[in-house]
């Protein structure tokens, strides 16, 4: 700057710091993604700036810096946690390459090699355990469990379900999701089974609050839930834990029911394309990941049958 003529000292520089990039991306994320996704990205940047100077110009961020951060996260948390941060950093940088002025430089320095990770497969309960839990549920909770099972819905999708999304005449249900590229809400119609239809009609006719636009709402009038009375659920952290304990089965959550639906369909002979349509995955690869553990059991059964035939042949 000392070398510049005096008249150029009042001009603005075009340098973008890492904190500028992060703040602009988080503003975008808050407006376009659900709260859990936004909070995940916000927590990632908070952790990122504990190790890397937020005032660093963007062009000075190197893959080595990102790699060092990722390795530190793997040691402190896990390989899975480090790779989740990497995914968010890559997405944020790509966004900056397209929307920030001046644009973030290419290539993306966050595109480093993934960390090794050990991911435990999600526990999917046996079908009989679900029905044991269902028998212990009452009222609205029973209807909600059926909705999770027959619609294979994500937690937020079921909690956001409105009466306008129920088409009883054509026996179908509309679910809204943001789990798509771009973060926009998109709707999909799913078939409404007879059992689910009857249960939903019963619940809407018998619930205490008739005029709520939401199907599932808080009806608990205890002091703890007083401020949530009549509002749609956001979290039900204790419900499944309590029901599983009463039923005497290994604990599982709402998302495990989505996996259970996929496994039940697979075991009944439906192909991946059909299951993909019900789960509303854009890629069949995602559906196949859901079915990995189920497929293992089928392979086991096939192998057992093979060895039984071999024994018969020897005899």
Instruction: List, for residues 296-310, the tens digit of each pLDDT value.
Output: 555 555 555 555 544
Q: What is the pLDDT of residue 1?
A: 63
Let me know if residue 252 belongs to a domain.
Answer: yes
Q: Are residues 141 and 258 in the same domain?
A: yes
Identify whether residues 87 and 136 lie together within a single domain: no
Name the domain boundary from 99, 114, 148: 99
- Each residue's pLDDT tens digit, 50-68: 999 999 999 999 999 999 9
Q: What percent of the chain has pLDDT over 70?
A: 86
48/37 Cα distance (integer angstroms): 17
What distance in Å separates the CA atoms of residue 149 and residue 161, rounded to the nearest whole number? Answer: 15
Q: Are residues 150 and 80 in the same domain?
A: no
What is the torsion angle, in degrees rounded to the nearest 10, for the CA atoms of residue 273, residue 128, residue 306 and residue 299?
Answer: 40
Q: How many structural domains are present in the chain?
A: 2
Domain interval for residue 93:
12-99
Q: CA angle, corner 144, sides to 143 and 145, nearest 5?
A: 90
Q: Taking Cα atoms as reference points, which of 249, 272, 275, 288 lies closest to residue 125?
A: 249
Can you say how many angstroms the Cα of residue 179 is from the centroid of all Cα atoms in its chain?
7
Cα–Cα distance, 165 to 176 (Å, whole number): 9
On whether residue 200 sits in a domain, the answer given is yes
Which pLDDT band holds residue 271 (cuts at 50, 70, 90)? confident
According to the model, what pLDDT value does residue 309 have? 47
Statement to judge: residues 191 and 237 lie in one domain: yes
Query: Does residue 312 fall inside a structural domain?
Result: no
Average pLDDT over residues 79-98: 95
Query: Does residue 306 belong to any structural domain of this protein?
Result: no
Q: What distance lies between CA 9 and its chain's CA centroid?
A: 50
- Same domain for 95 and 138? no
- Which residue did the predictor score with more confidence, 308 or 191? 191
Helices (H) and strands (E) in the chain, counts: 13, 3
Taken as a whole, the chain contains a residue count of 315
Question: What is the Cα–Cα distance from 84 to 78, expressed in whole angstroms?
Answer: 10
- Among 77-81, 103-107, 298-302, which stretch is predicted with the lowest mean pLDDT? 298-302
Residue 283 has pLDDT above 60, yes or no: yes
- What DSSP state is assigned to residue 226? G
Whether 290 and 199 map to the same domain: the answer is yes
What b/e sequence results for 216-232 when a residue is b if at least 16 CB atoms lie within 10 Å of its CB, and e otherwise? bbbeeeeeeeeeeeeeb
Judged by phi (left if over 0) then psi (alpha if -120 to 50, else beta), residue 255 lies in alpha
pLDDT at position 104 is 94
> 135 and 65 in one domain?
no
pLDDT, position 266: 87
Looking at the DSSP bridge assignments, the partners of residue 166 are 173
Omega before residue 102 within 30° of 0, cis: yes
Residue 312 has pLDDT above 50, yes or no: no
30, 136: one domain: no
The CATH number for 220's domain is 1.10.443.10
Q: Is residue 93 part of a domain?
A: yes
Q: Is residue 148 domain-resident?
A: yes
Same domain, 62 and 141: no
pLDDT value for 288: 78
The Cα–Cα gap between 41 and 184 comes to: 17
Q: Do 92 and 221 share a structural domain?
A: no
87 and 195 together in one domain: no
Residue with more model confidence, 97 or 286: 97
> pLDDT digits over 1-12, tens only?
677 777 666 655
- Percent of the chain predicted with pLDDT > 90: 61
Is residue 309 included in any domain, yes or no?
no
- φ/ψ region of 31 (left if φ > 0, alpha if ψ in -120 to 50, else beta) reads alpha
Residue 258 sits in the same domain as residue 172: yes
Look up the CATH number of the domain holding residue 43: 1.10.150.130
The answer to whether residues 215 and 163 touch, using CB atoms and an 8 Å cutoff, is yes
Mean pLDDT of the chain: 87
Kindly state the average pLDDT of the residues 144-157: 94
**DSSP letter (8 states) at residue 163:** G
In this prediction, residue 307 carries a pLDDT of: 55
On whether residue 50 sits in a domain, the answer given is yes
Confidence of residue 164 (pLDDT cuts 50, 70, 90): very high
């Amino acid at each position: 700057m000392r070398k510049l003529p005096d008249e150029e000292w009042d001009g603005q520089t075009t340098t973008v710091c890492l904190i500028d990039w992060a703040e602009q991306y988080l503003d975008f994320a808050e407006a376009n993604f659900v709260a859990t996704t936004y909070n995940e990205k916000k927590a990632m940047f908070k952790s990122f700036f504990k190790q890397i100077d937020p005032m660093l110009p963007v062009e000075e961020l190197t893959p080595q810096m990102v790699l060092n951060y990722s390795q530190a996260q793997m040691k402190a948390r896990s390989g899975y946690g480090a790779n989740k941060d990497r995914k968010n950093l890559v997405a944020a940088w790509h966004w900056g390459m397209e929307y920030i002025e001046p644009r973030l430089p290419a290539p993306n320095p966050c595109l480093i090699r993934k960390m090794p990770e050990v991911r435990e497969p999600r526990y999917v309960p046996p079908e009989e355990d679900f029905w044991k839990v269902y028998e212990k549920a009452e009222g609205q909770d029973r209807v909600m469990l059926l909705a999770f099972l027959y619609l294979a819905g994500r937690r937020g999708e079921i909690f956001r379900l409105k009466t306008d999304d129920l088409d009883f005449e054509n026996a179908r249900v509309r679910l809204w999701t943001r789990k798509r590229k771009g973060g926009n809400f998109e709707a999909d119609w799913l078939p409404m089974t007879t059992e689910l239809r009857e249960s939903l009609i019963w619940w809407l006719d018998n619930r205490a609050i008739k005029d709520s636009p939401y199907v599932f709402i808080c009806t608990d009038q205890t002091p703890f839930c007083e401020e949530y009375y009549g509002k749609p659920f956001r979290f039900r952290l204790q419900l499944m834990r309590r029901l599983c304990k009463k039923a005497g089965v290994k604990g599982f959550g709402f998302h495990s029911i989505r996996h259970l639906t996929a496994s039940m369909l697979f075991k009944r002979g439906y192909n991946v394309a059909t299951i993909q349509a019900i789960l509303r995955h854009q890629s069949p690869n995602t559906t196949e990941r859901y079915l990995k553990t189920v497929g293992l059991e089928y392979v086991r059964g096939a192998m057992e049958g093979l060895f039984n035939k071999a024994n018969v042949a020897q005899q």
